[in-house]
Amino acid sequence: TAPATVNLVSKFKIGTVGPALPGVGLKIADDGEILVKGVDVFGGYWNNEDATSEVMEGEWFHTGDIGALDDDGYLTVTGRKKEIIVTAGGKNVAPAGLEDPIRSNSLISQVVVVGDQKPFISALITLDAEMLPVWLHNNGESADLTPEQACTNPKVVAEVQKAVDAANARVSRAESIRKFVILPDDFTEASGHLTPKMSIKRGPIMKDYADVIDGLYTATPVTESLGVG
């Protein structure tokens, strides 16, 4: 399979991957998956009809990505289908649509949205160790605060809340983050929580922080920060 979309210098929309290339068709399936067809899309796996049937629907190739097409035909990719969270109420939530905007805040290092088969969406959030002292100093706080202290510092919590609120403004209430926890330790490759490409490893994080996640669903569902050791 070759490229399907492109943003041109003279014709682009920030935040999208562009419109379809000539000869390429795009559509969004009922579950939000991006489907592609065209002369540059592969026809199937060699001598493996079962594998082919899993990814092909007639001429349409199932990309495994979740996204949306706007009225002008520009495609936005919001996440991977296999990472979709389905809440207890049956709402499908693409984590990246919340994680990426929150992560754009310079104080924040990593974000992991959780809530599969839960009544609402929550998030695990870590702070950027290099930016934290600078941010604290610039905001009238001691730059010597430990990560544990920073997790519950009112100004830090307010800044994280602001980032969460901005992300929530982009989605429906059912998709919004109702609670979050600020963790004192960042996710790293050494801890087994990031890949060598610095992508989050959801499985190990969900396992290692199972108790923390469970704790998010044992109290009143309002957004809050918890310092977790």
DSSP letter for each residue of 40-92: TS----TT-HHHHHHHEETTEEEEEEEEEE-TT--EEEEEEGGG-EE-TT--E
Answer whether 99's CB lies under 8 Å from 80's CB: no
Quote the pLDDT of residue 64. 85
Answer whether 52's CB lies under 8 Å from 44's CB: yes
**Domain ranges across the chain:** 24-79, 84-215
Q: Is 99 helix (H, G, I), strand (E, B) or coil?
A: helix
pLDDT at 226 over 60: no
Strands 121-127 and 177-183: parallel
- 158 vs 44, more confident: 158
pLDDT at 151 over 80: yes
Question: What's the CATH number of domain 24-79, 3.40.50.10540, 2.30.38.10, 3.40.50.1980, 3.40.50.12500?
Answer: 2.30.38.10
Strands 108-114 and 121-127: antiparallel
Average pLDDT rounded to a whole number, residues 124-137: 97
Q: Give the alpha-carbon dihedral of 50, 55, 57, 58, to 10 degrees.
A: -80
Please write the tens of the pLDDT for every residue from 59-118: 999 988 888 899 999 999 887 887 788 888 888 888 988 999 999 999 999 999 999 999
Q: What is the pTM of this model?
A: 0.73
Average pLDDT rounded to a whole number, residues 50-61: 88
Task: List for the chain the helix, strand, coil content (%; round to 5).
Answer: 30, 25, 45
- Cα 174 to Cα 40, 70, 91, 120: the distances in Å are 38, 22, 7, 7
User: Taken in order 58, 64, 65, 67, is the CA torsion positive or negative?
Assistant: positive
Quote the pLDDT of residue 229. 30
pLDDT at 33 over 70: yes
- Domain 84-215 is classified in which CATH homologous superfamily? ANL, C-terminal domain (3.30.300.30)
Quote the pLDDT of residue 219. 64
Average pLDDT rounded to a whole number, residues 128-156: 95
- Cα 113 to Cα 9, 135, 176, 178: the distances in Å are 34, 24, 10, 11
Quote the pLDDT of residue 108. 98
- Cα 125 to Cα 4, 12, 90, 180: the distances in Å are 34, 32, 24, 7
Quote the pLDDT of residue 128. 96
Please write the tens of the pLDDT for every residue from 173-202: 989 999 999 999 999 999 999 999 888 899
Quote the pLDDT of residue 94. 85
Mean pLDDT of the chain: 89
Quote the pLDDT of residue 158. 96
